[in-house]
Structure 1
Amino acid sequence: MLTNHPLRERVVQEMLLRRFPAITTPSRIVQIVRIVAAADRDEERRRVMAMPDGSFIEPGSHDRHVAGACPRGALLSWERHSEASTATILLPLGIEACDATAWIEGLPGHVVRAMRITVLADEASAGPVLTAAALAKADLVTCHVGPCRIWSDFRMGNDGYGQMILVANGCPPADLGRIIQRVQELGNYRNLALLGLPLVQQHGAGLDRLEAQLSEEARLIAEGAQDDEALLERLSALSAELEHVAAATAFRLGATNAYAAIVADRLASLDIQAIEGHQSLVDFNDRRFVPAVRTCATFAARIDTLGARTARITALLRTRIETSIERQNRDLLTSVEQGIGLQLRLQHLVESLSVLAISYYAISLLGYVAKGVSKVMPWLSPELLLAMAVLPVSLGIMAFIRHRRGRLFAGDAARHA
């Protein structure tokens, strides 16, 4: 028996997801993409499984993908992505599936894209539908996608839905399903990517202010006219504010970058052929989406650049502060050294005076001895004896003091060795 890797089943399921069913004409597709908070995931799952009465949930459905069918012929599907969820209804044109509509609109989350797609057999049958759709001519996008042709103004109607008309022009049902899936993913990921632009616009003025403030702090550091500690405190506050902006935008800007890459892949995979005099999907994408993504990328790069500049300027200021502290320490050590030298000279002076004082008292004591001896030896002059003893006594005391001082210094050096 095979011993499977714990993640094998999940990997296989991942590769089987996002399959669009084969689509026959005429039909209608309703799809809603939502951002769902983590706290709402359980409620979302409960509502997904509560499909309209009589619906049949296909075997193989799991926590990230559920597919089912309504009695009136509508196919229902739900798929969970990293932060968004996609719910889709596919039904024959002309059949109303009110229960299915209530199901898809009742799921939790915030809608980022909702589309109704009308799929027709050929361009000849598209006229009445296009007239009824009343697409805005100024924003009309129409082009060939492989053998198919699409029309849309990508506007949001009063009911919150956008609309698209697509004609198969003989495209086989399986290929038609794949084309519609890629066209929808192109639009879905485009909207998800553009969620980063309002955030960039919201924080853009703050980033401009931080950039100007950093330049001013760098100028003050160069001039040296400000207190270094005050400058360091302001730089620390600026760095903290910059980190707050980076933390508030990092996830969304990273998601924008990832979604934009998927949009580019989907756009490249579609065989788009422009129609003269009309805006194509490529034109529509290049007109605003590409500049918006570049704006987000520039904002992210500015945050990184400002962070690096802040770190360099802070390091420069810290180096200057440390240099100033080292200079103060050097001056302090020089002052201490001068004090020690003065103290040493004073000690030598005291030592010399001590030799004189001790010698004086020693000669005085010797004087008493000499006077006592002169009583026994009258011929011995006490004054002469004392005069002769002054020099050897003083030298002896001086030698003794130096000897003791030498031993004291030697013992101290041995303790510190």
Structure 2
Amino acid sequence: MSRPADHPLRASLSDLMHARVIPVFTAPAVVRSWVYLLSDVERAAERTWIDSLPGEHGAEGWTLHDIGDAGGMIWERHGEFSTYLKFTTQVDPDAATQNGLGFCSLKTADFAWLSEAPGTVFRSVEIAVFSYEPEPAQLQASIDLTQAVCCDVFGGKARIWSDFRMHDGGAGRIYVHDRGLQNDELSRLLQNLIEIGHYRKLALLGFPVARGLMAWLKEAEARLFAVTSDMASQSASQEQVLDRLMALSAEVEQRVNEVSFRQGATRAYAQLAEDRLVSLRENRVEGYSTMAEFIERRLRPAMRTCDAASRRLDEISSRIGRVSDLLRARISISLEVQNQDLLKSMDLRARLQVKLSGLVEGLSVFAVSYYVFSLLKYVVDSAVPKEVAHWLYAPMIAGILALAWLFIYHRKKKIEEQAE
């Protein structure tokens, strides 16, 4: 029996479920991750630069490279940014924990090649993982405990510390105490910690945009209020109000086009960060904030500002639409009034025309009768004596007038019937 043909995407979609795995499964380990923001031009050059590095290329956007003896590098392509992850498991735990808790184990020379990567560095974080619980004094030397986050994660199988500050080397620091992580739990924990920080900071890209939008919205709302007031008081002509309203509407649509992508990306990044925080399964450590509390306390107000700016932008667009409808209704009513006045004028003119036509018809009867009588008079004068002809003039005139009137009347009726 022959085997059914596989769908072309079956294998690739199955492999996709296991693609995003950091190959670090046991402590000790040191991981460092970077986020690079790229323009369209830099994005085009990125793949060429990646292909020039030694290593094993997998699916586009997810490539594992061997960089010397220090470990590996993983590159991942996203919509508007790319991430690089450098890791090493060749760490002496005793020496590392006694000397900076393993931070800066990856020397600058280990990733100097990254300085040639297209784009600009937006974020970097260094994570040290050891099966050693440090003393507070050791932690304080590397992480500011006065404003640090500390919590148990993954059901208490690990404890993390971080102060969300940039340290020597230009990276944030997270220390992970492995208390018994099994299988791929360490890999998933590292992935969550990295993505929480990346998406949190990427979400904040929308905050400056929202603040700038808020300032513009205040001025735009004032302009809309002025337009509405002028329209209500009729202190400006409808043409002037319409011109100002159309100009404001065009500016609003331009703003919508400018910020719509950033607003959507901000909401998506914030939601991803919240989803990853849920995956940590945090438990509180007395005296410290959890990572969710710390991030929400700082991220939530910024996201509310972004949401408020989006709502105000939608609202002013709707208000402009309502004002446009009112102005359109007013213009429509004005046109109807003008049309009614025009129809009345046309009706009056038509009545005058009818009266004039009646007058012309009467004059036409007399004119036609005069010419016909003149012609018949010549005939009668030549055919009968003068004494008899004078007696014939009166009935001739009466008959000619009657016949002329009947002729014009019937022609008028026929023309009216044809017009109908």
- TM-score of the superposed pair, with normalisation by structure 2: 0.89
Cα shift at 1:187: 0.9
Structure 2 equivalent of residue 411 of structure 1: 418
Give the secondary structure class of the aligned counterpart of 1:143: strand
Cα shift at 1:339: 0.8
Alignment of 1:92-107 (within 5 A): 92-93=90-91, 96=106, 98-107=108-117
C-alpha contact (below 8 Å) 1:76/1:89 kept by paired residues: yes
The one-letter amino acid paired with 1:25 is A
Cα shift at 1:71: 4.1
| C-alpha distance in 1 between matches for 2:7 and 2:355 | 85
212, 219, 238: which one aligns with 1:209: 219
Alignment of 1:6-405 (within 5 A): 6-51=8-53, 57-58=55-56, 61-91=58-88, 92-93=90-91, 96=106, 98-123=108-133, 125=134, 127=136, 129-135=138-144, 137=146, 139-146=147-154, 147-157=157-167, 159-172=169-182, 174-375=184-385, 380-405=387-412
Cα shift at 1:254: 0.4
Cα shift at 1:122: 2.5
Cα shift at 1:127: 4.6
| C-alpha distance in 2 between matches for 1:306 and 1:274 | 44
| C-alpha distance in 1 between matches for 2:269 and 2:6 | 32
| C-alpha distance in 2 between matches for 1:128 and 1:177 | 28
- After the TM superposition, list the runs of 4 or more consecutive aligned residues in structure 1 that deviate by more than 4 angstroms: 94-99, 126-129
Which consecutive residues of structure 2, in runs of 5 or more, have no partner in the other structure? 97-104
Structure 1 equivalent of residue 101 of structure 2: none
Question: Given the superposition, is the C-alpha separation of residues 263 and 328 from structure 1 closer, same or farther in structure 2, using an over 3 Å criterion?
Answer: same
Cα shift at 1:145: 1.6
| C-alpha distance in 1 between matches for 2:174 and 2:318 | 47
Give the secondary structure class of the aligned counterpart of 2:73: strand
Q: Which moved more, 1:62-71 or 1:9-18?
A: 9-18
Cα shift at 1:15: 2.2
| C-alpha distance in 1 between matches for 2:5 and 2:144 | 57
Question: Given the superposition, is the C-alpha separation of residues 216 and 14 from structure 1 closer, same or farther in structure 2, using an over 3 Å criterion?
Answer: farther
The one-letter amino acid paired with 1:65 is W
Cα shift at 1:263: 1.2
Cα shift at 1:2: 5.0
Question: Given the superposition, is the C-alpha separation of residues 161 and 73 from structure 1 closer, same or farther in structure 2, using an over 3 Å criterion?
Answer: closer
- TM-score of the superposed pair, with normalisation by structure 1: 0.89
Question: Given the superposition, is the C-alpha separation of residues 402 and 96 from structure 1 closer, same or farther in structure 2, using an over 3 Å criterion?
Answer: closer
Cα shift at 1:8: 3.8
Question: Given the superposition, is the C-alpha separation of residues 205 and 229 from structure 1 closer, same or farther in structure 2, using an over 3 Å criterion?
Answer: same
Q: Which moved more, 1:317-326 or 1:1-10?
A: 1-10
C-alpha contact (below 8 Å) 1:148/1:169 kept by paired residues: yes
The one-letter amino acid paired with 2:141 is A
| C-alpha distance in 1 between matches for 2:34 and 2:336 | 66
Which consecutive residues of structure 1, in runs of 5 or more, have no partner in the other structure? none
Cα shift at 1:265: 0.9
Question: Given the superposition, is the C-alpha separation of residues 268 and 18 from structure 1 closer, same or farther in structure 2, using an over 3 Å criterion?
Answer: same
Question: Given the superposition, is the C-alpha separation of residues 2 and 87 from structure 1 closer, same or farther in structure 2, using an over 3 Å criterion?
Answer: farther
Give the secondary structure class of the aligned counterpart of 1:171: coil
| C-alpha distance in 1 between matches for 2:11 and 2:312 | 42
Give the secondary structure class of the aligned counterpart of 1:16: coil
Cα shift at 1:18: 1.8
C-alpha contact (below 8 Å) 1:122/1:170 kept by paired residues: no
The one-letter amino acid paired with 2:195 is E
Per-residue CA shift, 1:336-365, capped at 9, x if unaligned?
A: 121111011011111111212222333333
Give the secondary structure class of the aligned counterpart of 2:121: strand
> What fraction of aligned residue pairs are identical, expressed as a percent?
34
Per-residue CA shift, 1:55-75, capped at 9, x if unaligned?
A: 6x34x6232111133442412
The one-letter amino acid paired with 1:45 is R
Cα shift at 1:157: 3.1
| C-alpha distance in 2 between matches for 1:211 and 1:111 | 37
Cα shift at 1:13: 4.0
C-alpha contact (below 8 Å) 2:30/2:106 kept by paired residues: no
| RMSD after superposition | 2.2
